[in-house]
A = this chain, B = another copy of it.
Amino acid sequence: MRTRVTDMFGIELPIFAFSHCRDVVAAVSRAGGMGVLGALYFTPDELETELAWIDDHVDGRPYGVDVVMPASYAGADFPADELVGRLQTMIPEGHRSFVENLLTRHGVPELAADADPGRVLLGWTDATARPQVEVALRHPIALLANALGPPPADVVKLAHDHGVKVAALASTPRHALKQVEVGVDVVVAQGTEAGGHTGEISTMVLIPQVVDAVDVPVLAAGGIGNGRQMAAGMALGAEGVWTGSLWLTVEEADTPEMARRRILQATSRDTVRSRSWTGKPARLLRNEWTEAWESQESPGTLPMPLQFMLVSDALRRIGRSEAAELATFPAGQIIGIMNQVRSAKDVVFGLVEEYGDALERLERITAD
């Protein structure tokens, strides 16, 4: 397969795999696509370790790193060294007790005393994502991707100075235009069916509009879980596909067993677009956590990054408990078609094979 995207990165297949797991990233790049490591959960030191590992396991194939530099968030003008402290004071007591009561009702134990208090912000802000960018650019990455808006212009320049292409996720044609204005090389147009932060417009409706709006290549994201969906994304005008949820259940993934089981059993109706994770709308597994935030008792969600600061410890506690009914995580609607565990390589090859079948079928329809 050949598009501007395969030429740009020297890859065989225009398949991009977003994952927080280094094994998945390396496996997809080795299979001819491009793995993209989500840096969000890593401290700069941890990220250094992950990328060094990928460098050793990717056989010289290109890979990317994804950071989150939101265009807007509470406290964006606070000095970095006061950021966490000042943000903590902005979380109302009523919200803290709502979360505590919810966990108590479900019998979720406290965190152990060794819990790391410094992780509550993760890479959700400019201040915490920039050190990740610096680490990433010390490695031979081919792509720096940004979620939640156009990356800052100086970051785009820095990446380009390092010979690194820049991608950004867009959920409207207007977002895409803003991203191209700051110099983004690839737009990832992401439909509402995608897992994680996502807009309202479906992939089917969004992709042609973004393709028509910008001159740079567009990747189709949201709802891409098999080769027919990949063919559909390309038919809409995309020059490649960006996938995420698809990799949560592969053999290589370090997905917690409880989450993996839940995904394998879920239908496409078991997700919901909710602000209960970060304060911005994100598609999550629908369960008692997301429903509690929609209930009459809910105090409403807080703006980014306050909501994640409020709930991060809670989510860690839930993850370590038996309260599976509260364990939510970002998941796209394709979890309804993810019913088996395969290797990342098999998933890549399966996409390509089914893509070919879909194209042959289309050719037969018009040949008759």
By a CB distance below 8 angstroms, the chain B residues around A358 are 235-237
Which one, B200, B204, B222, B363, contacts A232 given CB within 8 A? B204
Q: Does A203 contact B (CB under 8 A)?
A: yes
**Which B residue's beta carbon lies closest to that of A7?**
B368
Judging by beta carbons under 8 Å apart, are B208 and A337 in contact?
A: yes
Q: Does A202 contact B (CB under 8 A)?
A: yes
CB-contacts of A189-226 with B (<8 A)? 191-193, 199-209, 222-226
Number of contacting residues on A, CB 8 A?
49
Task: Count identical subunits in the complex.
Answer: 2
A1, A234, A359: residue with the most chain B Cβ atoms closer than 10 Å: A234
Task: Tell whether A268 pairs with B209 under 8 Å between CB atoms, given A2-B365, A228-B237, A233-B232.
Answer: yes
> How far is B203's CA from A232's CA once the two chains are assembled, in angstroms?
11
Q: Does A366 contact B (CB under 8 A)?
A: yes
> How far is B205's CA from A268's CA once the two chains are assembled, in angstroms?
8
Judging by beta carbons under 8 Å apart, are A206 and B359 in contact?
A: no
Judging by beta carbons under 8 Å apart, are B203 and A204 in contact?
A: yes
Judging by beta carbons under 8 Å apart, are B192 and A234 in contact?
A: no
Q: Does A88 contact B (CB under 8 A)?
A: no
| Per-residue B-contact encoding for A324-352, CB less than 8 Å = 1, 0 else | 00000000111011000000000000000
By a CB distance below 8 angstroms, the chain B residues around A365 are 1-3, 234
A15: min CB distance to chain B, Å? 13
> How far is B355's CA from A208's CA once the two chains are assembled, in angstroms?
13
Judging by beta carbons under 8 Å apart, are A268 and B208 in contact?
A: no
Judging by beta carbons under 8 Å apart, are A269 and B193 in contact?
A: no
A305: min CB distance to chain B, Å? 25
Task: Tell whether A204 pairs with B226 under 8 Å between CB atoms, given A1-B365, A362-B235.
Answer: no
> How far is B113's CA from A103's CA once the two chains are assembled, in angstroms?
59
Q: Does A356 contact B (CB under 8 A)?
A: yes
Q: Does A229 contact B (CB under 8 A)?
A: yes
A191: min CB distance to chain B, Å? 6
Judging by beta carbons under 8 Å apart, are A334 and B205 in contact?
A: yes
Q: Does A167 contact B (CB under 8 A)?
A: no
Q: Does A231 contact B (CB under 8 A)?
A: yes
Judging by beta carbons under 8 Å apart, are B200 and A202 in contact?
A: no
A362: min CB distance to chain B, Å? 6
By a CB distance below 8 angstroms, the chain B residues around A332 are 205
List 5 interface pairs A-B (beta carbons < 8 Å), by A numbering: A201-B336, A205-B332, A229-B236, A231-B362, A237-B358
User: A residues bordering B, Cβ < 8 Å?
Assistant: 1-3, 172, 191-193, 199-209, 222-226, 228-229, 231-237, 267-269, 332-334, 336-337, 356, 358-359, 361-363, 365-366, 368
Across the A-B interface, give the 3 residue pairs with the lowest CB-CB distance, nearest first.
A204-B223, A2-B368, A232-B232
**Known contacts A200-B268, A209-B268, A362-B362; 9 further A-B pairs (Cβ under 8 A):** A172-B269, A191-B204, A199-B269, A204-B204, A205-B333, A231-B235, A231-B236, A232-B236, A359-B362
